[in-house]
Structure 1
Amino acid sequence: MRAAVNVLLTLVTAAALGGAAFTGTAHATPSKAELIAAAKKYEAPGVRGANDWNCKPSPQRPRPLVLVHGTVGIGWANWIYLSQALASQGYCVFALEYGHRPGNPFPGMAHIEQSAPQLATFVDGVLAATGTEKVDLVGHSQGGMMPRYYIRFLGGAAKVNDMVGIAPSNHGTWHGTWFPEIGFQICNACIDQTPGSALLTKLNADREVEPGVDYTTIVTRYDEFVVPWQGQQLSGPAHQLTNVVLQDACPSHFSEHALIVASDLTVQWVDHALTREGPADPAFKPNCG
């Protein structure tokens, strides 16, 4: 009888502790190798200058840089210029591919709430591989907005130093391809990027920047895809946020939504933002070429 009582007490105690007596190592912290292996599942193939998992950041570029593509933004195409340009300046560059829907070959199509955890997994692997505490994020279009969900709701604020959004869909877009009847069938992320969507309402409620993270948006007045272009910009304190319009410093610059990530002017602003304390300096004078 006493043995039976002891067994019962053991079961009750285990239940009170959340089953800890029986889970063993089920909740053990993943090893470095496990974190890297999980991240590599989201590695974007064929991105030149990116995804060298042996790369170690330098004192001049102390944090690894994670590139986050846009909707339907196949990694190698989205970053065909920017990844190599930044790697040549000494950055440890990593690029993921996220947001696949079943039966759809294009990335960035799933709901933001499904894609953001994939970014979280990738960042954890990059941190494990490089031995650093924080990353810098550079994203294009949806990739400039989706990481804000990771930063705000999934613990990313403790792991991200700078968030640079290039033509980001921070407040959605009225572009004609975001029709719900199309989006619900093939592109859930398109619905999330409709102005006033439940996702954007949640993301932008109360504040648009998170404490501890520096934000820079880089936009062009000639963006024909994320419209109006003013909706790409964020609101927040000046010590934490800078909204850059390329034509303010270089009036004759004519890149639009796609070419903005293939612009040397964009590279200059990105490098400037990432190599100083705080966000980009609005007074920075790039070489307009």
Structure 2
Amino acid sequence: MYVYKTLFAAAVALATIASTLVEASPIPANAAVSNYVPVTKRMYTAEQVDQHEKILKRSSVGFNDWSCKPSSAHPRAIILVHGLIANNWDNWLYMAPRLVARGYCVYSLTYGQLPGIPLLAGLDKMENGAVQLSAFVDKVLAATNTTKVNLLGHSEGSLMPRYYLKYLGGSSKIDKFAAFGAIAYGTTLSGLVPFLTSLGLYDTIKGIIDPVCLSCFQFLPNSQFLQDLNAGGDTVPGVQYKFIVSKTDEVVTPYTSGLLKDKNPLVQNVVLQSLCPVDLSEHVAQMVDPIVFNAVDAYFNPARPQTINCLSAMT
């Protein structure tokens, strides 16, 4: 079922990209072949050219533009932090270009790669990923000549940055931290871990997985990583948090383990279905969910509409 949902989400993402590219073409989609006019002979008004350029900008990924300077409307650059087995590109095919089109300076890193394993990242210990994030944040701050940035994470990207905030001095450099498909207190992987333990297979499976995924067992509820991370509180002073979880998330189980527990006035915990009861996006589908996107955009930009509901899927 999870593989099916993953493929479905990928198909949605590809369809979204394809529809954007079709829209970017100056040739009407329903134009008859007999009416085709070669590019060299077409004539466009200034308004058509301007509209075409805007669409092209929206349909390109557009992030990691190191010449981008934050505006007064968007004073904080956004750093995107991908999830497990993703990278800085494929995790953000939907959200990155839309954030750029709305005026943000957007940056994304690939972290936690292991030797000999291409494309798949987030596999190294999260402590090491946090060191990479720290260096990347400093690079973005220098490029944008600012003192703070915002973070947007998915899945592991909601968890690893908290190590950076707590142990590597990140709290002084981050203003807002938003995350979806959030993980705060680990996951049972839909009961898989207790099942393997009951069969006496836990240590065997761990021995097989550990060499190729050092971070995997850090996600478990009683891991030493999570115990250290949550000891004394799961947030740090001065940073604002917005963690979004979904009741239909089959990777983060129970879904409530993605909620922060500190009684911190700067924390917003959001259940996706409280925004739109019929939104059934699970872990992967949240990456291409317009309601999630608009909730994040509204969080980073108070000038955007702050009421997020099912109608937000249309914007």
| 2:188 corresponds to which of 159, 174, 181 | 174
Structure number having the greater helix percentage? 2
Task: Within 5 Å, give how 1:114-263 maps onto structure 2.
Answer: 114-175=128-189, 176=192, 179-263=205-289
- Contact 1:183–1:189 (Cα < 8 Å) also in 2: no
**Count of residue correspondences:** 240
**Unpaired runs of at least 5, structure 1:** 1-46
Q: Give, in angstroms, the shift of residue 185 of structure 1.
A: 2.0
- The code of the aligned residue for 1:285 comes to I
**Unpaired runs of at least 5, structure 2:** 1-59, 194-201
The residue matched to 2:282 in structure 1 has which SS? coil
1:60 aligns with 2:44: no
CA–CA distance in 1 between the matches of 2:267 and 2:291? 19
- Contact 2:77–2:149 (Cα < 8 Å) also in 1: yes
- Contact 2:87–2:109 (Cα < 8 Å) also in 1: no
2:198 equivalent in structure 1? none
Task: Within 5 Å, give how 1:92-111 maps onto structure 2.
Answer: 92-105=105-118, 106-111=120-125
| 1:271 corresponds to which of 293, 297, 311 | 297
CA–CA distance in 2 between the matches of 1:285 and 1:108? 31
Q: Deviations over 1:181-233 (max 9, x none)?
A: 34312101101111110100000011111000000001111111111111011
- The code of the aligned residue for 2:127 comes to E
Quickly say closer, same or farther: Cα 1:183–1:59, change in 2 above 3 A: same
- The code of the aligned residue for 1:209 comes to T
| 1:84 corresponds to which of 76, 83, 97 | 97
Q: Give, in angstroms, the shift of residue 288 of structure 1.
A: 4.1
- The code of the aligned residue for 2:103 comes to G
Output the TM-score relative to the length of structure 1.
0.79
Identity across the alignment (%): 39
- Contact 2:81–2:157 (Cα < 8 Å) also in 1: yes
CA–CA distance in 2 between the matches of 1:61 and 1:276? 10
The residue matched to 2:232 in structure 1 has which SS? coil
The residue matched to 2:151 in structure 1 has which SS? strand
Output the TM-score relative to the length of structure 2.
0.72
- The code of the aligned residue for 2:301 comes to T
Q: Compute the RMSD of aligned alpha carbons.
A: 2.1
